[in-house]
């Protein structure tokens, strides 16, 4: 009975987050047609732009000027997330030190309960025996995490049922041929006992039905998610399980009950193996810990959470994706927004199989014109709408679906010191032509840029080249490219090249350049440090038609914004 009640409690918690009718209404509210103004990314609803963009959490949510030390220990799954959150909080509280250590979920509970740390990390439900030992424990759920079953990269299995997963890890199924795979012995890889991931997996898989099973005695036990991933990826015919935050291309994902282990499928209630990620204190938190927990559960903190996990706090307003839509939606415009819209469209069409959403590129100017002339239902625009465009199409409605940073990048063999925004302007404007002028090597600068009409180019021109007087134009010698992908390839293969890319296109093939001493990261944008960012918009001519409105509602719900947060900064 305790097993069943735990599963029910987890479901209730997630549903409460996803479908609470008590949260604010997220019905469509188009952005005001005032291209010169940009709302703060995390400003409370109803606030007006102040002339300065404040990307940190609202003032009433985040304290600054704190001094002292916070000790955190416990789950190795929660540890990287706590470290990321701690770095963001310390960035706005330079005199505060937050030390984060691992040790496992059981260590997190005990250390918090005994008062040897301020906050314990626990990647599972707190056990009744732990509450008996430490009756004053306070538990704060900061995220939800899926647990994926993974195999060696050369081993692809058909979809298995939850019952088959139970019998594989319980040692009853010992050959892959029994579940439609190759004729080969199964090598099970598992976390050690005491791990939060192991406890959650045992509860959700091995104890999911009667009779309950225990982990097979032949399992190769590992001390962290990282070790599980390495062992599975290097051991032929191995199968294991990982927290969503540790998934990468080194392992294959296994479908359960016909569904891939993805955030979308967890949110839709299709994927069955997920758990809460908790922070815990012994009694009420002390002042510093309370301030940190307030930050973690604020919009800024949950934005950081959403990069790898499912936020525990969101604005869903009882939203349920419609399942009976039929027809077609035409979308065109910005090549930056295009991949994001395609991903959102695929997710939305899963709920309404009779709906077809066609997404094309063409550039931001094409998106505005096509929407304004009514040749598409929705236009994609990766910049502010220009005054001249509102004059040509005065009925345009604009919906900001995400925010995007623009990073300055160089050839992988070229590492520059931090540059100022003014130096960036003069580099791309052709006034600085040798890297030695900014502390780099004695070599001519090769500028790589997007073509005119590109949303990325328009945003970069406005945010960098026109950032101060006198305004500059892109260097006449710049190598012009037709997409972010082409810019990345050109910079990565051209010695001494420098260019700029949307955050969503960054990878290890190029080097990142600090601007005003800050790297181009989501955390630095949210903290108000990194200066080059822009809105990603969808636009319609007048009020959206019924199908377009349903799609936009989906995009601006937590369902859609979780997808947005995989590559960009959430608009909500």
Both 130 and 160 in one domain: the answer is: no
Mean pLDDT, the chain, as a whole number? 84
- Name the DSSP letter for residue 538: E
d(C-alpha 300, C-alpha 279), whole Å? 17
51 token code pair: 């002339």
Residue 268 · residue 346 · CB < 8 Å = no
Q: For the chain, how long is the longest CA-to-CA vector? A: 75
Q: What is the pLDDT of residues 174-192, one digit of tens each?
A: 999 999 999 999 999 999 8
| 510, part of any domain | yes
> Would you call 196 helix, strand, or coil by DSSP?
helix
Both 92 and 118 in one domain: the answer is: yes
Both 257 and 339 in one domain: the answer is: no
Domain around 211: 145-275
**Residue-level length of the chain:** 572
Specify the range with the lowest mean pLDDT, choosing from 349-353, 379-383, 488-492. 349-353
Q: What is the structure's pLDDT at 21?
A: 31
> Distance of CA 543 to CAs 29, 114, 282, 470, Å?
10, 58, 52, 40
Both 26 and 122 in one domain: the answer is: yes
Please, how many CA atoms are within 13 Å of residue 513, restricted to the half-sphere of its CB?
31
| 248, part of any domain | yes
d(C-alpha 443, C-alpha 415), whole Å? 12
Both 259 and 289 in one domain: the answer is: no
| 48, part of any domain | no
Q: What is the pLDDT of residues 509-550, one digit of tens each?
A: 999 999 999 999 877 887 778 999 888 999 999 999 999 999
| 60, part of any domain | no
Residue 496 · residue 446 · CB < 8 Å = yes
Is 508's pLDDT higher than 60? yes
Q: What is the structure's pLDDT at 38?
A: 27
Q: What is the CATH number of the domain that holds 434?
A: 3.40.190.10
Both 465 and 538 in one domain: the answer is: yes
Domain boundary pick from 311, 334, 362: 311
| 149, part of any domain | yes
Both 295 and 330 in one domain: the answer is: no
Nearest to 350 by CA among 260, 458, 419: 260
d(C-alpha 488, C-alpha 402), whole Å? 22
Write down the residue that tokens 């945010």 correspond to. Answer: 463
Q: What is the structure's pLDDT at 450?
A: 93
Is 10's pLDDT higher than 80? no
Q: What is the pLDDT of residues 192-236, one digit of tens each?
A: 887 778 888 998 999 888 899 999 999 999 988 889 999 999 999
> Distance of CA 373 to CAs 380, 392, 398, 444, 541, Å?
14, 10, 15, 45, 8
d(C-alpha 359, C-alpha 330), whole Å? 6
Both 135 and 151 in one domain: the answer is: no
Domain total in the chain: 3
Confidence at 319, pLDDT banded by 50, 70, 90: low
**What is the model's pTM?**
0.46
Q: What is the structure's pLDDT at 248?
A: 86
| 437, part of any domain | yes
Instruction: Show the CA angle centred on residue 159, arms to residues 158 and 164, nearest 5°.
Output: 105
Specify the range with the lowest mean pLDDT, choosing from 56-60, 103-107, 364-368. 56-60
Compute the chain's Rg from CA coordinates.
Answer: 25
Both 166 and 94 in one domain: the answer is: no
Q: Which helix (H) or strand (E) holds 311?
A: strand 310-311
**CA-CA-CA-CA torsion sign (334, 336, 339, 343):** negative
Both 138 and 226 in one domain: the answer is: no
Q: What is the structure's pLDDT at 527?
A: 74
| 28, part of any domain | yes
Both 103 and 37 in one domain: the answer is: yes
Q: What is the pLDDT of residues 237-282, one digit of tens each?
A: 999 999 887 888 899 999 999 999 987 777 666 888 988 899 999 9
Q: What is the structure's pLDDT at 510?
A: 96
Both 170 and 295 in one domain: the answer is: no
Q: Which helix (H) or strand (E) holds 258?
A: none
| 432, part of any domain | yes
């Amino acid at each position: 009975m305790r097993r069943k009640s735990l599963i029910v409690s987890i479901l209730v918690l997630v549903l409460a987050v996803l479908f609470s009718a008590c949260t604010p209404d997220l019905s469509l509210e188009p952005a005001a047609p005032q291209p010169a103004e940009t709302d703060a990314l995390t400003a409370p609803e109803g606030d007006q732009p102040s002339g300065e963009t404040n990307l940190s959490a609202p003032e009433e949510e985040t304290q600054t000027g704190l001094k002292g030390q916070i000790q955190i220990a416990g789950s190795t799954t929660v540890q990287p997330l706590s470290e990321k959150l701690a770095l963001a909080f310390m960035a706005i509280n330079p005199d505060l030190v937050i030390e984060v250590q691992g040790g496992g979920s059981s260590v997190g509970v005990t250390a918090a309960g005994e008062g040897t740390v301020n906050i314990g990390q626990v990647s599972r439900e707190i056990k009744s025996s732990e509450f008996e030992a430490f009756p004053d424990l306070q538990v704060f759920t900061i995220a939800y995490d899926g647990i994926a079953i993974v195999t060696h990269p050369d081993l692809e299995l058909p979809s298995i049922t939850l019952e088959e997963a139970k019998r594989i890890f319980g040692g009853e199924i010992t050959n892959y041929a029994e579940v439609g795979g190759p004729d080969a012995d199964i090598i099970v890889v598992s976390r050690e006992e005491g791990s939060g991931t192991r406890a959650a997996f045992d509860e959700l898989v091995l104890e999911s039905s009667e009779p309950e099973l225990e982990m097979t005695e032949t399992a190769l036990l590992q001390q962290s998610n990282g070790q599980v991933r390495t062992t599975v990826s290097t051991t032929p015919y191995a199968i294991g399980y990982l927290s969503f935050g540790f998934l990468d291309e080194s392992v294959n994902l296994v479908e359960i009950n016909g569904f891939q282990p993805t955030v979308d499928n967890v949110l839709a209630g299709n994927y069955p193996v997920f758990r809460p990620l908790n922070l815990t204190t012994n009694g009420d938190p002390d002042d510093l810990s309370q301030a940190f927990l307030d930050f973690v559960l604020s919009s800024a903190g949950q934005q950081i959470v959403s990069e790898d996990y499912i936020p525990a706090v969101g604005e869903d307003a009882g939203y349920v994706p419609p399942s009976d839509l039929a027809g077609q939606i035409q979308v065109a415009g910005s090549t930056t927004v295009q991949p994001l819209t395609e991903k959102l469209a695929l997710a939305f069409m899963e709920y309404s199989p009779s709906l077809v959403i066609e997404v094309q590129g063409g550039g931001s100017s094409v998106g505005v014109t096509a929407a304004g002339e009514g040749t598409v239902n929705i236009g994609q625009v990766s910049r502010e709408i220009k005054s001249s465009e509102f004059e040509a199409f005065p009925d345009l409605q604009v919906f900001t679906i995400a925010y995007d940073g623009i990073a300055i990048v160089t050839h992988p063999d070229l590492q520059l010191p931090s540059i100022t925004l003014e130096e960036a302007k003069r580099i791309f404007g052709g006034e600085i032509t040798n890297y030695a002028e900014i502390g780099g090597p004695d070599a001519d600068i090769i500028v790589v840029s997007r073509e005119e009409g590109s949303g990325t180019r328009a945003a970069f021109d406005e945010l960098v080249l026109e950032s101060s007087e006198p305004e500059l134009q892109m260097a006449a010698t710049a190598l012009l490219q037709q997409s972010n992908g082409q810019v990345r390839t050109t910079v990565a293969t051209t010695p001494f090249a420098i260019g700029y890319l949307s955050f969503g296109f960054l990878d290890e093939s190029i080097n990142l350049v600090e601007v005003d001493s800050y790297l181009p990261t989501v955390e630095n944008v949210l903290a108000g440090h990194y200066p080059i960012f822009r809105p990603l918009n969808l636009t319609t001519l007048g009020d959206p038609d019924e199908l377009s409105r349903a799609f936009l509602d989906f995009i601006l719900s937590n369902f859609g914004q979780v997808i947005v947060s995989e590559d960009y900064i959430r608009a909500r």
